[in-house]
Chain A
Amino acid sequence: VLSLEDRQSFSDISIIIKMMSPYMQSRISDKFIQFIEENKDKSYQSLIDNTLPLESQELSPNTKTVLALIYRDYLCSEDERQNFILKQFEKQKRIEEEKKAKYEINFKNNQNTNQDLTSIIEYKKINIFTKLLNALKKFFLS
């Protein structure tokens, strides 16, 4: 269910779309714009100033989210979308890990490693032919 906050964000977004270049506007589907227009809170007095750059405006978290949705699904190119989704995935993973670190006790961290620090490491002498072969391989395969 759409909240009042959502509808107020749609009012902000309606203004922001008009601040975009014609090219950006042309990439957003007409149905989406229609949805925004039909569901925006018409009684809400937006604080967006269409004469100022977007960077310098205070946006509500919800408006930012709608904008992110527009960016992901309409504005970016295919490459940018892959990149964006990947970043989002990593961000989500990081959040999960942070949550885990915060709320779960990781017993593994408390266990000692099994590595035998006193074991002997074998020294393999490399003969001159092996060296030469490796050099040639490097040369041809590089």
Chain B
Amino acid sequence: MDENDIAEVIKFIDELIDVLDAFFKEYESLSDPALKLSFLESNLAIFGYFKDSLFLILLNYQFKEPDNPTQNTKSDTLRSVISKILAINDFFEHYDSFKYFKSDILDCLSKNEGDFAHKLQFDKSMPKIKIALQYFQDRDTYKRTLQENNYFEGQDLNSPSAKSYISNGYERCVLGHSLKFLRDNLNDMSLADIEEIFKYANNSPFFDDLLSKINGKLSDDDELLVTQYIEFILKLKSLFMPSKIKDDKFVQAMWNGKITNNKFLSLIAKNTPLRAFDSLMEGIPNNSDDNTLENLATHFKEHGLSYTNISYIVYEILSGNISYECIAELLAEIDLPLDFQEFTNGKHFKTFAWLITGPNPLSLLLKKGNNIKYAEKPFLPATYYVKILDRLFLEPNKDEHFLGNLYTLLRTDYFSEEEKQAIQERLDANNLNSPYKVDCQIVFEGNESYEDLCLKIKQAYSSGQTIPLSIAQNIFNSTLSVTISPDSLTLQACVQSTICNILASMGITDEYQVFFGKSNNENGYQISSPPHIWINSHLLAQFINESSLESKTKLFETISHECNHAWQDYITANGDIDFLGYNWTLENTIRQYDSNFYPNNYKKIFIESDSRKKGILGHLHFLHGLNPSFAATIRQSLEEKYFVEATTYSLSQDSKKEFAIGDTTITIDVSDYVGYLIKDNPSILTETPILNIGYHQDGSQKSIDVLLDEFEKGTYTQDSNPSNIYSIYDGLISKELANSPTIDDTLQEKIHHFKSQAPCSASMKAVQNIAESVSPEYIANLFDRMQSFTLFPKIQSKEVDTSVVVRG
């Protein structure tokens, strides 16, 4: 065939599809069945042409093409024609020449689909994958037509063409290639493309079919597909629609005991966020909060899972970002065994024997439990404290922070009175009370010797009194200028006093508690509920033992850093925040849904970069307060550090954050990501009203036009400071502008009007009013004077600058 012949054939095919489409329109307009039949019979020849050229027709039009609307319209028409032909297959079976018409169509569809899917492995591009995925809908149309007309019943189901068609080979192949493509190209893919693959894979009934076979012998391809679904689709679902994760078919199957394959159980549990387990646990009847392990085990046993199955699931739960509070609670449930021996000899062994089967969750629990005594997290359940105080390894000197934190905790309302009493009894019985605790108010005279001063400080601190800041500064000063070193407890009291005074100076009225402990990961942390700041004790040791001033006083940087976090939480909770604060709110929203978000993006997170900068400034400021010469010594070094921080991490550079999926990561702009979360859970907007500035109720982000109009109308005012509200609108508009290649004159004028309303003491409106009050004659005279004086070049208005940069 030469080119002309091919063109002729294509023309013929095109016309044939159009003729058939017109035929069915006419056919459907007839209401009399006899008339319909006669219309069909008289036009049988057209179907003959269709049957004879079926292969060519499908080759050309079964699949759509990217950016080819003509082809795609034709393809849609063809799909409609085929489903209509299939719907009246009974008619054709009366004719010998059309007896196998349906089978011919299915054979052809099937073969062509197979070829297309097979070729995907050599040409794996997003446009091709999109076409292959979109074709799922066409297949569904054909299958539905066949099912609605009972063509998949009895004998029909046994025909090779039907078998091939319903075998889902196409879906298997396309989903396999798509998920592999996703895995290989995740970093470079657009969010829209990821969403597209996710949507089809999530909705495909193909995985239901796989799930029903999951406990049997799966082919290598199917096993890979299940793994890819769990690692990618489940994870994407936990990112984009976290509230739906507990309803996912694989999570539900695991929870309801439908999966007994340990490998898959592990994988599902590993990729299911703890939040989802929490929601699932809430649904257990007779669930009591204080018996988590027992509740879990009973639930799974009732659903037919073996001890080994349960141990695989629980091991993965424990491997995740499970809190120390939870670990302590689980350990308390089994009476805090020190080792396996003690556990197997104990009374809980019978109930929790599954803890030492399979991957051995008990070993993990004990390992994590060992870290608790480093006092990294002080808020542990009372039952844990009551039991741990009787253990042999607790010694006042060795475990000073663990006990110190408990003393602090006992002065808060974290425990009930009964719990406090029970803990106090165990402290008394084991002689673990603080030796410095006194019942009277400590008064500082000002003339105490250094030793007496330290003793008084320890007594005040151990009795719940905050020492005056001047006393703390005195200790700091003498350590830095004279070679006198305070002991750790005295220093703790000074740190606690400093933190309380800094917070008070910021206007923070919450009663922040200060805790100390050891950690290899962080210098400190702050949490607003219950309000507390934790400081790593290695900073205290560094203050006492290091020789360089900067290393010694790193402690002050951490104090300022954590106090700034408290301030961030304070102003965010009050809703009076500018654009930077708005971004903290976005980050905090994500943090609630993805426990890995914070550790994966620690350096880039605005909450952290802001605190790092404030930490450096606070360090310098505090040192200056102690002695200006200290600040002068390290000023340059800290300024350089600040400069690096300020230029590396800013709002204009780091809006994209990384999210781990499987063993790879994707980067998403935090604004886009929060949009997905709002779409999944619109109550976020009620809980965090400030986000209403940037988002519609459906999670979509407001356009520049909408933002400008809403600012003009004052849609969002609340009780916030107008300059903060302006800053948020300005930030959002500038960010949108940076992504908009062109803007028209009308929008340009609106933006100018918006920008001219920036709150400042010399506003555009004020200048305009003054300008309008001046006589034109005066302006002309002044202009002449200026020009004659300098030959000042003719004053020309500056071009309106459209390259708006997101300001930090």
Smallest beta-carbon distance A65→chain B, Å: 4
Per CB-CB distance, the 7 closest pairs between chain A and chain B, nearest first, are A21-B758, A71-B771, A19-B762, A68-B771, A68-B774, A88-B776, A54-B766
Smallest beta-carbon distance A60→chain B, Å: 11
On chain A, the residues within 8 Å of B773 by CB distance are 64
Nearest residue (CB) in B for A85 is B776
A73 touches B797 (CB 8 A): yes
Smallest beta-carbon distance B696→chain A, Å: 27
A61 touches B770 (CB 8 A): no
The answer, yes or no, to whether B25 is at the interface (CB within 8 Å) is: no
Stretch at the interface among B40-48, B602-610, B655-663, B777-785: B777-785
Bound together, the chains give a CA A50 to CA B761 distance in angstroms of: 7
User: Binary interface profile of A, 39-51, with partner B (CB < 8 Å = 1, else 0)?
Assistant: 1000000000011
User: Binary interface profile of A, 79-101, with partner B (CB < 8 Å = 1, else 0)?
Assistant: 11100100111011001000000
Smallest beta-carbon distance B724→chain A, Å: 14
Task: Please report which residues of chain B, range 743-778, place their CB below 8 angstroms from some CB of chain A when the two chains form the complex.
Answer: 749, 752-753, 755-756, 758-764, 766-778
Q: Known A64-B773, A77-B752; judge A24-B764 contact (CB<8 A).
A: yes
Nearest residue (CB) in B for A51 is B761
On chain A, the residues within 8 Å of B768 by CB distance are 71, 75-76, 80, 84
Bound together, the chains give a CA A62 to CA B753 distance in angstroms of: 27
Task: Please report which residues of chain B, range 420-441, place their CB below 8 angstroms from some CB of chain A when the two chains form the complex.
Answer: none
Between-chain CB contacts (< 8 Å), 26 pairs: A1-B785, A1-B788, A3-B785, A6-B785, A20-B762, A21-B755, A24-B764, A24-B767, A26-B801, A27-B798, A31-B793, A39-B789, A53-B766, A55-B766, A65-B782, A66-B782, A68-B772, A69-B779, A69-B795, A71-B767, A71-B771, A73-B797, A81-B797, A91-B776, A92-B777, A95-B777
Bound together, the chains give a CA A54 to CA B798 distance in angstroms of: 23
Smallest beta-carbon distance A100→chain B, Å: 15
A55 touches B769 (CB 8 A): yes
The answer, yes or no, to whether B800 is at the interface (CB within 8 Å) is: yes
A92 touches B776 (CB 8 A): yes
A77 touches B771 (CB 8 A): no
A65 touches B766 (CB 8 A): no
Instruction: Beyond the given A32-B795, A53-B761, A92-B777, please list 19 additional residue pairs across the A-B interface where CB-CB is below 8 A.
Output: A6-B786, A17-B762, A19-B761, A21-B758, A21-B763, A22-B807, A24-B762, A31-B793, A51-B761, A52-B761, A54-B767, A54-B770, A55-B769, A64-B770, A64-B771, A67-B767, A68-B772, A68-B774, A74-B798
On chain B, the residues within 8 Å of A71 by CB distance are 767-768, 770-771
The answer, yes or no, to whether A123 is at the interface (CB within 8 Å) is: no
Nearest residue (CB) in B for A93 is B776
Nearest residue (CB) in A for B807 is A22
Smallest beta-carbon distance A36→chain B, Å: 10
On chain A, the residues within 8 Å of B767 by CB distance are 20, 24, 54, 67, 70-71, 75
The answer, yes or no, to whether B136 is at the interface (CB within 8 Å) is: no
Nearest residue (CB) in B for A2 is B789
A21 touches B759 (CB 8 A): yes
On chain B, the residues within 8 Å of A76 by CB distance are 768
The answer, yes or no, to whether B796 is at the interface (CB within 8 Å) is: yes
Smallest beta-carbon distance A66→chain B, Å: 7
On chain A, the residues within 8 Å of B772 by CB distance are 68, 84, 87
Secondary structure type dominating chain B contacts: helix
B758 touches A23 (CB 8 A): yes
Bound together, the chains give a CA A86 to CA B777 distance in angstroms of: 14
Bound together, the chains give a CA A20 to CA B764 distance in angstroms of: 8
A35 touches B790 (CB 8 A): yes
On chain B, the residues within 8 Å of A65 by CB distance are 774, 778-779, 782
Smallest beta-carbon distance A35→chain B, Å: 7
Task: Please report which residues of chain A, range 1-33, place their CB below 8 angstroms from some CB of chain B when the two chains form the complex.
Answer: 1-3, 6, 16-17, 19-24, 26-29, 31-32
The answer, yes or no, to whether B95 is at the interface (CB within 8 Å) is: no
B785 touches A53 (CB 8 A): no
Number of interface residues of B (CB under 8 A): 42
On chain A, the residues within 8 Å of B776 by CB distance are 88-89, 91-92
Bound together, the chains give a CA A97 to CA B681 distance in angstroms of: 68
On chain A, the residues within 8 Å of B91 by CB distance are none
Nearest residue (CB) in B for A53 is B761
Bound together, the chains give a CA A88 to CA B775 distance in angstroms of: 7
Smallest beta-carbon distance B726→chain A, Å: 9
A35 touches B792 (CB 8 A): yes
On chain B, the residues within 8 Å of A50 by CB distance are 761
Q: Known A6-B782, A23-B758, A95-B777; judge A73-B795 contact (CB<8 A).
A: yes
On chain A, the residues within 8 Å of B777 by CB distance are 92, 95
Of B761, B769, B775, the most chain A CB neighbours within 10 A belong to B761
Nearest residue (CB) in B for A87 is B772
On chain A, the residues within 8 Å of B793 by CB distance are 31
A54 touches B758 (CB 8 A): no
Bound together, the chains give a CA A69 to CA B796 distance in angstroms of: 11
B775 touches A23 (CB 8 A): no
On chain B, the residues within 8 Å of A16 by CB distance are 762
On chain A, the residues within 8 Å of B766 by CB distance are 53-55
On chain A, the residues within 8 Å of B800 by CB distance are 27, 77
Nearest residue (CB) in A for B789 is A2
User: Binary interface profile of B, 710-741, with partner A (CB < 8 Å = 1, else 0)?
Assistant: 00000000000000000000000000000000
Smallest beta-carbon distance B768→chain A, Å: 6
On chain A, the residues within 8 Å of B785 by CB distance are 1-3, 6
On chain A, the residues within 8 Å of B798 by CB distance are 27-29, 74
Smallest beta-carbon distance B246→chain A, Å: 48
Smallest beta-carbon distance B415→chain A, Å: 50
A68 touches B795 (CB 8 A): no
Smallest beta-carbon distance A34→chain B, Å: 11
Bound together, the chains give a CA A50 to CA B760 distance in angstroms of: 10
Bound together, the chains give a CA A15 to CA B594 distance in angstroms of: 49
Bound together, the chains give a CA A91 to CA B773 distance in angstroms of: 10
Bound together, the chains give a CA A16 to CA B762 distance in angstroms of: 7
Smallest beta-carbon distance A79→chain B, Å: 6
A64 touches B761 (CB 8 A): no
Task: Please report which residues of chain B, range 158-180, place their CB below 8 angstroms from some CB of chain A when the two chains form the complex.
Answer: none
Smallest beta-carbon distance B97→chain A, Å: 63
Bound together, the chains give a CA A8 to CA B34 distance in angstroms of: 102
Bound together, the chains give a CA A116 to CA B776 distance in angstroms of: 44
Bound together, the chains give a CA A91 to CA B775 distance in angstroms of: 8
Bound together, the chains give a CA A91 to CA B763 distance in angstroms of: 24
A23 touches B771 (CB 8 A): no
Bound together, the chains give a CA A142 to CA B265 distance in angstroms of: 75
On chain A, the residues within 8 Å of B782 by CB distance are 6, 62, 65-66, 69
Smallest beta-carbon distance B785→chain A, Å: 6
Bound together, the chains give a CA A32 to CA B773 distance in angstroms of: 22
On chain A, the residues within 8 Å of B789 by CB distance are 1-2, 39
Bound together, the chains give a CA A27 to CA B799 distance in angstroms of: 8
A61 touches B762 (CB 8 A): no
Of B760, B769, B773, B800, the most chain A CB neighbours within 10 A belong to B760
On chain A, the residues within 8 Å of B792 by CB distance are 35
Smallest beta-carbon distance A15→chain B, Å: 9
Bound together, the chains give a CA A75 to CA B772 distance in angstroms of: 13
On chain A, the residues within 8 Å of B760 by CB distance are 19-21, 24
Nearest residue (CB) in B for A36 is B786
A95 touches B762 (CB 8 A): no
Task: Please report which residues of chain B, range 58-87, place their CB below 8 angstroms from some CB of chain A when the two chains form the complex.
Answer: none
On chain A, the residues within 8 Å of B774 by CB distance are 61, 64-65, 67-68
Nearest residue (CB) in B for A20 is B762
Bound together, the chains give a CA A92 to CA B775 distance in angstroms of: 8
Bound together, the chains give a CA A81 to CA B767 distance in angstroms of: 13
Bound together, the chains give a CA A56 to CA B318 distance in angstroms of: 65
User: Binary interface profile of B, 386-412, with partner A (CB < 8 Å = 1, else 0)?
Assistant: 000000000000000000000000000
Bound together, the chains give a CA A22 to CA B769 distance in angstroms of: 20
Of B753, B755, B770, B783, the most chain A CB neighbours within 10 A belong to B770
Which of B775, B788, B801 is A95 in contact with, Cβ under 8 Å?
B775
Nearest residue (CB) in A for B748 is A77
B779 touches A72 (CB 8 A): yes
Nearest residue (CB) in A for B795 is A73
